[in-house]
Structure 1
Amino acid sequence: MIVPLARAVSEHVHDGATVALEGFTHLIPFAAGHEIIRQQRRELTLIRMTPDVVYDQMIGMGTASKLIFSWGGNPGVGSLHRFRDAVENGWPRPLEIDEHSHAGMAARYTAGASGLPFAVLRGYRGSDLAVRSDTIADVQCPFTAEVLAAVPAINPDVTIVHAQRADRAGNVQMWGIVGVQKEAVMAAGRVIVTVEEVVDVLDPVPGAVVLPAWVLSAVCVVPNGSHPSYAAGYSTRDNAFYSAWDDISRDRETFTAWMEQHVLESARV
C-alpha cells in the first residue's frame, strides 16, 4: 500500500489511460505529474477541474492527446502557454479538448462516483458550450417536462491526489480547501495518493476528509509533493514560481530546457 512514487506510477499509469490529477488551489499533485513526465507516458487523456501549471508542463512534454477540463490558466497570472501552443499549433503534439463548466465537471465526477451513467443540471442552458461538445446533451425531466442538460459520468482509469497525511494502514486524511478530490477518487478504477507524511494516528481536524485504504491503490510519501501549490498546515504557496512560469513557458526552448533541468534530471521518491 505505501510504496515509492516511481513504483506507483509504473504500476498504475499506463499509456493511453484516462488520468485525473485533482486538487483545488492547494494539494495539487505536482510531484506525481512530474513522475508521469519522467516515465514518458503518452496518449493520456488528462482530466482536471482548473488545469493549471502541472498540466501545462505535462501537455508541453507530450504526455497528453486529450484534455477534459473546466477553465485553464496560470492562476493569478495569465494563460497556460504550453496548453495554448498545443491547441493552436499542435506542439509538441495536437491536443483534443472537451471543455465544461466547473459545475458540469463536478456533476460528472459525482455521477461517476455514484455509479450513474450521467448527471443532470441546469448550468448549460443558454450557454454555447453545448454546441461545442458532444458530451453535453438535452434531456427532458419525466416529471415536469423541463428540458435540462445531461453530461456523461467521468470514471478515470486513475485518479491522483495529494493529501496531508496517511496512517500506517494507508488511510488518508486531507483538509483545507477540498474540491472534487473525494468524488474523483471514488469514480476511479485505480487511485494514487501522495502525502506529506505518515503518522500513527489521524487526529481529527475540522472539515477533514478521510479516504479509506480500501479505495486506494497506492500511497506514496512525498514531502512538499504539491509545490509550487501548497498543503494547508504544511507549506505555503510559491507565488513567485507562478509568476516566473509565465516567462519560462512562453518560449518552447526555454520551457524544454527548464523541464530538462528541474524535472527530467530530478529524482523524487
Structure 2
Amino acid sequence: MAEFISLKEAVERFVKDGDRVALEGFTHLIPYAAGHEIIRQQKRDLTLIRMTPDLIYDQLIGMGCASKMIFSWGGNPGVGSLRRFRDAYENGWPEPLAIEEHSHAAMANAYEAGAAGLPCALFRGYLGAGLRAVNDNIKDFTCPYTGEQLTTVPALNPDVSIIHAQKANRRGDVLIEGIIGVQKEAILAAARSIVTVEEVVESFDDLHPNLCVLPGWAISAIVEVPGGSHPSYANGYYERDNAFYKAWDQIAADRERFLSWMETHVLNVGPDVFIDRIKPVTMSEEA
C-alpha cells in the first residue's frame, strides 16, 4: 500500500543505482520535481524509459545519471533537439549513452504487456520500418492461427516508475485528469512506484466515477509536491511554461552553461521548495 513520505525519502528508498526507471507523462503531468531529486541524489547507471523523453531526460542525461535510454521519440517539443542527449550519445559526455529506439505503438504495447505480466508485446507494426536495422529487440512472429506476420518486443517492467498526478486521497488512491498517456500501465508494470501529486484530499467521492484512478495497492509512495510537473502543465492547476522550453535550447547548447544552470536551479534547490516551479519563468539568463 502507498506510503505518504517526502520526496527525498521516496527517491532514497525506491530509486537505486543501475535501476530501470520510467518517468512518464504525456504533454502534461511530467514528473520534473522527482527527476530533479534523482539528480540531487546523484543516482547513476540508470536505464531511463519513456515514450517521449524531453527536458527532464536531457537534464538527467547531462548530469551523468543515465547509461541507457529506451524511448520512442526524443526532443524539446516545438523547439528542437535535446542537446545533452545528443552530446551523450554522439560524444560520450558526460557518460556514454546506449539507446534502444521504438515506435510509440511498440512502447505502449510493451508497457501494457508488462502491466499484464506477459513476457512480450504482440502487435501489428514495423513492417518496412528502418528501426529493425538498429534494434535487435524487434522480432517477427507468425500467428499460429492465421499465419499473419506480427511483431514482438520485450515487455517493459521498470524497477521503478514515477508519475505526477493532480490528487491523492487519504487512502492512497491517485486521480489523473486530462490527457492520459501510459501512466497507469507504467505504474502497474513496475516493481516499485512513486507518485507526486499537486494535493492530497480526503476523498474522491464527489467526482465522476469514470475518471482515471490508480489504486493505493499499486503504489509504493505518494508525495505531495505542488508544482511538481513544472515547466510542463497540470490540467486544472497551471499552464505550460512555454518560455522555459524555448530558453532551454540555449541553456543546454553549451556544457558549462548547462552545468551552471543545473547548479543554481536544481542542485542548490531543496526538494521541499515548490513555489518557484509554478511561477511564470524564463530563466534563460539567470545562470
TM-score under structure 2 length normalisation: 0.92
For 2:96 and 2:60, the matched residues in 1 are separated by: 13
- For the pair 1:175 / 2:173, whether they are aligned, the reply is no
What is the 5 A alignment of 1:50-129? 50-129=52-131
Aligned residue among 237, 243, 256 for 1:234: 237
For 1:176 and 1:225, the matched residues in 2 are separated by: 16
- For the pair 1:218 / 2:215, whether they are aligned, the reply is no
Opposite residue 136 of structure 2, the aligned amino acid is: D
What count of residue pairs does the alignment treat as equivalent?
A: 269
- For the pair 1:134 / 2:136, whether they are aligned, the reply is yes
SS in 2 for 1:107: helix
Opposite residue 27 of structure 1, the aligned amino acid is: L
What is the deviation of 1:205? 4.3
For 1:10 and 1:134, the matched residues in 2 are separated by: 34
What is the deviation of 1:249? 0.3
For 1:268 and 1:207, the matched residues in 2 are separated by: 33
Deviation string, structure 1 residues 175-234 (Cα, Å, up to 9, x no partner): 101100000011000010000000011232485210111110000000000000011001
What is the 5 A alignment of 1:157-196? 157-196=159-198
What is the 5 A alignment of 1:140-155? 140-155=142-157
For 1:157 and 1:101, the matched residues in 2 are separated by: 22
For 1:188 and 1:95, the matched residues in 2 are separated by: 23
CA separation of 1:58/1:205 partners in 2, compared to 1, >3 Å: closer, same or farther? farther
What is the 5 A alignment of 1:197-208? 197-202=199-204, 203-205=206-208, 208=211
Aligned residue among 24, 48, 51 for 1:49: 51
CA separation of 1:153/1:254 partners in 2, compared to 1, >3 Å: closer, same or farther? same
For 2:193 and 2:164, the matched residues in 1 are separated by: 11
Deviation string, structure 1 residues 128-165 (Cα, Å, up to 9, x no partner): 11121121001100011111111110000000000001
For 1:45 and 1:214, the matched residues in 2 are separated by: 25
Opposite residue 72 of structure 2, the aligned amino acid is: S
Gaps of 5+ in 1: none
CA separation of 1:45/1:26 partners in 2, compared to 1, >3 Å: closer, same or farther? same
For 1:205 and 1:5, the matched residues in 2 are separated by: 29
Opposite residue 163 of structure 1, the aligned amino acid is: A
For 1:249 and 1:208, the matched residues in 2 are separated by: 37
The runs of at least 4 aligned residues of structure 1 exceeding 6 Å deviation read: none
Task: Give the share of equivalent positions with the same residue, in percent.
Answer: 65
Deviation string, structure 1 residues 235-262 (Cα, Å, up to 9, x no partner): 1100000000000000000000000000
Give the superposed CA RMSD.
0.9
1:244 paired residue number:
247
Gaps of 5+ in 2: 273-287
For 1:65 and 1:204, the matched residues in 2 are separated by: 42
For 2:63 and 2:33, the matched residues in 1 are separated by: 15
CA contact (8 A) 1:81 1:249 kept: yes
CA contact (8 A) 1:176 1:207 kept: no
SS in 2 for 1:250: coil
